[in-house]
Structure 1
Amino acid sequence: MIMLVPENNHNTAVIDIGSNSVRLVIYRIEGRSIWPLFNEKILAGLGRDLRQTECLHPQGKKDTLIALRRFKAILESYTLSKVHVVATAALRDAADGPEFAHEIERVTGFKVRTLTGREEAHYAGQGVRCGQLEAEGFVGDLGGSSLELINLDPQSTFKGLTLPLGPFALGAPKPMDVEKTYGLIRTQLDPLRSQFRAKTFHAVGGAWRNLALIWMMKVNYPLQIIQQFELSARDALTIARLVAIQSPTSLEKFPGVSKRRMENISYAALVLQGLIECFEIETICFSANGLREGLLFDDLPDTYKNLDPLIEGCANFGARHGISENLGPALAAWATEFYDSVDVDRPSEKLIKAAAKLADIGARLHPDHRADLVCDQVLRAPIPGQNHAERVFLACALYTRYSGDAYTKEPVLVSRILGDERHLQATQLGLTLRLGCDLSAKSAKLLKMAHIRQDDKTLIVSAKAGWDDLLLGEQTRKRARALANALKLSLRTESY
């Protein structure tokens, strides 16, 4: 029996029965943050022959039931607030879809909710907003049998649609006639030009994520993280056209993509090419979130939905490492007050707040390795709401916070993603946080007793009268001198 217990911070699960894959993901919900705890899928191919037979694939049905029985046993070992069991285009369109949904309930006890195309589009859009609240443009979620499209413009009256443009609907796993298939794709997309013209397209779905990974590997891109990875339309067209014309044998040479995915990826590439060329897209932003995260985001209280996913993610990530909830906001306010006095380019308020909330995550790590371990955690943690440049910025800032040095261990991250100017900003912020943490012994109360500011060519570190001997000791002066040097300022300490 699956135990369901409602609570503020809780575990929940989604079973997603798609045309190609059947997947279970168990999540931890902490306020606005949604963390995957367990993720398992099988490529059952339920929609494999749907276009020819109008029925679900027989072996796919058997494989799905086996997987769902396993998923039930797994879920019975967790305490959960809710279990979503949803099905998409294959069960929606197949003549035997309702019958199979009843069989699933009889065999496993799972009551399947078969989503409409509009619901599927809505949840895909919500999944993108869950990870990137300020996202603009439109979303495309490519599954095995269908493509869902939805605008992210809150003023749009158009609520999304579904099109038969998934690989199985276009003929997969048979070899593709590129010219004929592209004509079918454009026939579906061309009438929608006025509804979906936008500079940014958010790509959702496993086949498109694999396209992004292939591009990363071909150009030796230094950060293989899908969430908010961006490609120009030119680069996306290059990889899409390359993959679309490859034979299955040639595709198998690409590392990191399963053989079953390769059956569909040429079709997915051609659909992406059609979207770019039809809607005159300029940037493709790949999302690791989709329908499953959208279901959970939709369930959150409205007060949570408009919170910044990066700030909330950093706060919850920090709390998991034992950081005081008061330290981050105090450090952010302290650093912001300093930046208001300094004649340098400053980081965004969001990045200052995010870095401050992560400023003590290395407290329980070995002191000889803190800087490297913290940097790697921040660089690769599943914290949403940040593009790749922001991710590298925070990793560099936190490395400096613990080491006192600029991050130079992977210079390609800086040269290809961040840039020298922002690298300098990250170093200066890291030194500011290092000074604040050591000056106050990571106490928000003590931090209020000291301030830093620039006065002409001097960095002034001041402490409240009576506290100067306690706060302006040898370690504080050492940390302050490092920050002053990075800003090319002299240093003075005083009481007030």
Structure 2
Amino acid sequence: MTQLTPSAIAAAELIAAVDLGSNSFHLVIARIMDGALQLLHREKQKVQLADGLDEQLMLSDEAMHRGLVVLKQFADTLQGVPSGSVRVIATYTLRRAKNANSFLHKAKAVFPYPIEVISGQEEARFIYQGVAHFEHYAGQRLVMDIGGGSTEFAIGLDFQPLRLASRNMGCVSYARQFFAKGKISEKRFERAIIQAEQELENIVNNYKTTGWQQVVGTSGTIKTIKDIISGLGWHPHCIELAHLEKIKQLALAHENCDELDLPGLTEDRKQLLCPGLAILIAAFNMLDIDQMVYVDAALREGVLYEMSNRLQHQDIRSHTVASLVKRYAIDTEQAERVKKTVLMLHAKVQPNWPLGDEWPQLLGWAATLYETGLQINSSSVQRHSAYILSNTSLPGFNQEQQQLLSCLVRFHRRKIKPDKFPPFYLFQHQQVHQALALFRLAILLNQKRRDDVVPALELHAKGNQLELQIPAEWYQQQSVLAADLLAEKEHLATVGIELQCPGLRQTLLEE
């Protein structure tokens, strides 16, 4: 791997991906050269974040400290990379930990980059994309990645994933659960394998029905097992169930993982070999896998490739939104009216309400999707739409972006309930309130679903005040909308925003 140098840092279109895994933290820096991705630098630090997750899903202070120390090191490495070209992804442990926000807020002090917590399916998608871009294969393939806290599975063809799944079984969590203090026994292996097989039961039928012609394994656990097989001279190119069973028997010749002495097994992987082996044996058994090949690409490479696509204006999130529009038969003309209005309102309040570069896209997508729930029922459409957006896989969106879209849609009309807002880390609550105000106004002004209703208007923002200036004759012509605007003043007050509409109340009184 090329070492990072000042000349490399100076290169155009430098991008970096950071993977905050449950076992290790990884950093990869690359640059885009003539449309192709060139890897420049890698760093890996063992953190074992999942080892600090207790039965109540609380992350220990010790585990947090280990993570923060590494993030501080990564921040130093990333100093030469533009902040907008760094993407940081957190997986199983931080999506499961109830006190994850505590870690994320502490991280801000040492690591000046936003950390995105992603769903298990999104993790599986990134892993698949990393493999698909790294090595071409003509047929369908199954990709498996054993992490510290979860194991991801994906089936895809070319660059298109067909099945995505994440199961709550990982080499760090299974080490603590079944091989505590490194103890090895037949019974411990048996319990771990059975538990992993139970975790896989829900996906087996769909995966077998979809089918594949190649099985690929990625990341540290599977790489270690591949290295052991190669070191023992059994087969340098693939992993088979017979190999796994033989390694298991070699492990059972010892009572503790610290005693293991196998070619290709490094000191830092000794405690993780047996739990990883149990998970892999279960997968081979349940999915009837004959052979698996190892590919040296995974989540962080998938993140890099997606970043390079976004830089070239191919954002998968736009494809996700378009797919939802088609699936739920959304009224695209109305969605476009609302989108046009909310973006116009957003532009008018800049720079007094500097929401940030990402907000126009997010508001546009919310405008496109706010009527998703109409297919369920027009009554309480905001609830139905929010439920769909919260519980549907949205490729390309991290968990907070998905929660934000759902929140905007949930409260796009009627009462606002701030206590029902999710806790945000990437977005400031004041920004969410301001964006919601603009979104609600755009929908209110377009509720007649016609192109000729929204008047020429001005919108000014100052602090928590929002002044909407509309000609008096419009209020007279649109008395119902005018009354709705009056009610909207009370709704927005619940999130601390004072809506002023000069002349509105007087016009209504005159009528």
Interval containing the TM-score (normalised by the shorter chain): 0.5 to 0.7
Contact (CA 8 Å) 2:132, 2:159: kept in 1 or not? no
Matched, 1:195 2:195: no
CA contact (8 A) 1:50 1:57 kept: yes
Alpha-carbon distance in structure 2 between the residues aligned to 1:85 and 1:8: 21
Q: Does 1:181 align with 2:203?
A: no
The one-letter amino acid of 1:169's match is S
Structure 2 counterpart of 1:266, from 251, 270, 274: 274
Residue 107 of structure 1, CA deviation: 2.8
Note the C-alpha offset of 1:267.
0.7
SS in 1 for 2:199: helix
Q: Distance in 2 between matches of 1:303 and 1:41?
A: 26
Give the secondary structure class of the aligned counterpart of 1:29: strand
1:162 corresponding residue in structure 2: 166
- 1:236-315 equivalences in 2 (<5 Å): 236-239=244-247, 242-243=250-251, 246-249=254-257, 252-301=260-309
Answer yes or no: is 1:40 the counterpart of 2:43. yes
Residues of 2 paired with 1:32 and 1:23: CA distance? 24
Alpha-carbon distance in 1 for matches of 2:257, 2:75: 37
Task: Find the aligned partners of 2:98 and 2:162 in 1 and give their Cα distance.
Answer: 29
Q: CA deviation at 1:255?
A: 4.1
CA contact 2:156–2:163 (8 Å) conserved in 1: no
Does the CA-based 8 Å contact 1:86-1:114 persist in structure 2? yes
Superposed CA RMSD in Å reads: 3.4
CA distance in 2 between partners of 1:132 and 1:245 (Å): 37
**Whole-Å separation in 2 of the counterparts to 1:182 and 1:288:** 25
- Cα gap change, 1:91/1:79 in structure 2, threshold over 3 Å: closer, same or farther? closer
TM-aligned CA deviation for residue 68 of structure 1: 1.2
Cα shift at 1:32 = 5.4
Deviations 1:76-135 (A, max 9, x none): 145687111111001000111122112112332121001111100000110110112226
TM-score of the pair, normalised by structure 2 = 0.52
| TM alignment of 1:54-203, pairs within 5 A | 54-78=57-81, 82-134=85-137, 136-153=140-157, 159-172=163-176, 174=180, 175=183, 177-197=188-208, 198-203=212-217
Distance 1:66 1:54 in 2: 22
Counterparts in 2 of 1:244 and 1:81: CA distance versus 1, 3 Å: farther
Residues 303, 46 of structure 1: alpha-carbon distance in 2 compared, 3 angstrom cutoff: closer
- SS for the counterpart of 2:140 is coil
1:167 aligned partner, one-letter code: C
Q: 1:212 aligns with which of 226, 234, 248?
A: 226
Deviation at 1:262, TM superposition (A): 1.3
Q: Note closer, same or farther for the CA distance 1:167–1:210 as it changes in structure 2 (3 Å cut).
A: same
CA contact 1:244–1:266 (8 Å) conserved in 2: no
Cα shift at 1:54: 1.4
Percent identity (aligned): 21
Instruction: Mark the CA change 1:156 to 1:62 in structure 2 (over 3 Å): closer, same or farther.
Output: closer
**Matched residue SS, 1:34:** strand
Post-superposition offset of 1:36: 2.9
Matched, 1:50 2:53: yes
Q: Is the 8 A contact 1:16 1:24 kept in 2?
A: yes
Counterpart CA distance in 1 for 2:207 and 2:10 is 40
Q: Which runs of 5+ in 1 are unaligned?
A: 224-228, 306-496
Of stretches 17-26 and 72-81 in structure 1, the one that deviates more from structure 2 is: 72-81
> Residues 155 and 161 of structure 2 are in contact (CA less than 8 Å); yes or no, is this contact kept in structure 1?
no
Q: Which runs of 5+ in 2 are unaligned?
A: 1-5, 314-511
